[in-house]
Amino acid sequence: MRSKLLIALLAFFVIIKSVQAQNNQYQFSQLDINQGLSNNQITCIYKDSKGFMWFGTTSGLNRYDGYKFKVFKHSNQSVSSLDDDYISNIEEGPDQKLWIQTRSGFNIYDLQTERFRHDIKKTLAAFSIPDSLILSLKKDRNGNFWFVHTSYGIYRYQPKTHQTTHFTHLANDSTSLYSNAITAIAEDAKGDCWIAHNNGVLEKLDTKTNKITSRIYTLNQLYPHEQFTIRVSVDAQDDLWVYMSGNALGTFYFNTKTKSYKHIDKNSIGGKLNSNIVYNIVQDNKGLVWISTDHGGINLLDKKTFATTYITNRADDPKSIAQNSITALYKDNTGIIWAGTYKRGISYYHESIIKFPLYQHHPADPNSLVYDDVNKFAEDAKGNLWIGTNGGGLYYFDRKKNTYQLYKHDANDAGSLSNDVIVSLWIDHEQKLWIGTYFGGLDCFDGKKFTHYKHNEADPNSISDDRVWEIMEDSQNRLWIGTLAGGLNLFNRQKNNFYQYLPYQPNSVHSAYISALKEDGEGNIWIGTSDGIEVLEKKSNRFIRYRHEEKKNNSLINNNIIAIFRDSRNLIWITTQEGLSVFNPQKKTFSNYFTEDGLPDNATLEVLEDNKNHIW
């Protein structure tokens, strides 16, 4: 029986170095002038209601549909073009029109006609706004539009009722705006608005009662004689993140429930920024706060601990963020983080775009992988990883500390690793690490020292070959060792020696090369070889053999076995260069799968089952 299979080949590389590891979790995709972007200097980012991404640059407006760019620029021959190519902001206005802000003012873009209008005063008059001196506008969650005026306060236009409400400072009313010198507004989860004034005062507007209900004077008290272009971001917990555009003051966090604040900059105790010049702040879907900086890349802050990590460019890594000066930062409705840079275009990230972080050697990064060639992994009871390399020794990755410890062979130290070429790893029931090496024999590491087991021609109870290919401990705590050319070995823990199952001896394996070991649900030991599969039955203690037979469609697919895996249904999956076999223990037959059944290639290497019982 054949069925269609969806097989995913996993490529997973782990960093190995005995220093602090870098943050390689965040891999970015890139867009720049090579893909059609009009200019690499990004000023602003926006996603419209139809799903188009818009990027403002110092030389043109760009619309991106996920495949290609459409560029809009000023033209002296067209009155319906942009009035200037320097784009400073993009927002949605009433009637699904985009309001594009340039050095010359606002341009209103019609998505249907793809034309720009410049009659801002006439348009605003229709919303009962007296003139065109608008600093910015925002659309709230209810579809209302908030226009910040240069000197008259704020106007809220409600399209459903076509009504406009004017919010302004009234000298004898403490529930009115503190002042009309407003630099920013931001909406919280309840639909209320936080308003920033240029002297540092922050206040909360209740959008149901249209009254100010709370004020924060902290920044005004810290900088009593200063005036700032203050920007405000409200996170999912309704806390405030405040920064001053054009000033090197870092960011201020305000807990709106406790009324406490925290100043975060390069000199902060604990988590700190690596640059005090902040351009934007957004919060991702996991609650992490992304802070874009000048020359510091993105500073990633965990609100639970206020610890910070840094996402920075690595010149030799095309999947790192494109540049460390991040001039624009935007999270869209799907959770993608878009980062605009000063000179290198756009980098964007989502955890589902690139599933597997790639760790490799980067000459420019002293904390990157030193040795790229990795053979094996083993996870201990703490969730930490042992990593065996093909000539670079053995590494221990501590996930909590994010550090790596290196173990290498030292000819002058008999207690060191026997060989730096590691082929197999296994952690036994005592949490001891067993290490199979190439021409170094078998090592056991108890956390302090390496114990060596090597082949001795004069000792039939020594390990049969110093090229140890596979290691497995079974449910009876017996340790099985497969070798490259010495057959199978069973380690006797009491006597500290080995029983050798050599090829073509009575009740033994038929091949000297043991490529795979696996125990099934009944305690039988499955042994992959270069000449089929041997199964040592628990009940009879006898070997039975499965081989490929040309005239039998339900025989083993190929005799040269690469790996063996047992899934949650007790089916045995066998990988070969010629396809995939699945053994049904009830029927004692194999089902075989090839490229015509859905495999991307007949050469299959490994099989894994995830927590949802999907087979990879």
CB burial string 210-230: b at 16+ within 10 A, e below:
eebeeebebbbeeeeeeebeb
CA distances from 131 to 66, 93, 113, 121 (A): 38, 16, 26, 5
Provide the pLDDT confidence category of residue 11 given band limits of 50, 70 and 90: very low
Which one has a higher pLDDT value, 11 or 611?
611
Residue 94's φ and ψ, nearest 5 degrees, are -55, 155
**Higher confidence at residue 436 or residue 21?**
436
Chain segment 123-148, per-residue pLDDT in tens: 999 999 998 899 999 999 999 999 99
- What is the arithmetic mean of pLDDT over 54-73? 97
* 612 Cβ contact list (under 8 Å, min separation 6): none
Q: What is the DSSP letter of 484?
A: S
**pLDDT classification of 22: cutoffs 50, 70, 90:** very low
Strand order from edge to edge, sheet including 514-519:
514-519, 525-529, 532-536, 543-546
Cβ-proximal residues to 67 (8 Å cutoff; 6+ apart), any chain? none
Supply the pLDDT for residue 308.
Answer: 95
Confidence of residue 353 (pLDDT cuts 50, 70, 90): confident
Domains of the chain, residue spans: 455-616
**Residue 18 pLDDT grade (very low, low, confident, very high; cuts 50, 70, 90):** very low
Amino acid 578: pLDDT: 95
Q: If 0-12 CB within 10 Å is exposed, 13-18 middle and 19+ buried, where does residue 6 land?
A: exposed
pLDDT at 382 over 80: yes
Question: What single string gives the DSSP state of each residue in 271-283?
Answer: S--S-S-EEEEEE
Residue range 373-381: average pLDDT? 95
Asked whether the predicted pLDDT for residue 356 surpasses 90, the reply is no
Residue 517 CA, distance from chain mean position = 33
CATH topology of domain 455-616: Methylamine Dehydrogenase; Chain H (2.130.10)
Phi, psi of 443, deg, nearest 5: -115, 150
pLDDT of residue 367: 63
pLDDT at site 270: 84
Q: List, for residues 474-530, the tens digit of each pLDDT value.
A: 999 999 999 999 999 999 999 999 999 999 899 999 999 999 999 999 999 999 999
Longest distance between any two alpha carbons in the chain, whole Å: 104
pLDDT score of 358: 73
* 8 pLDDT higher than 90: no
For residues 266 and 275, is the Cβ–Cβ distance under 8 A?
A: yes
The pLDDT-based confidence of 556 (bands split at 50, 70, 90) is: very high
Among the ranges 108-117, 348-357, 393-402, which has the highest mean pLDDT value?
A: 108-117
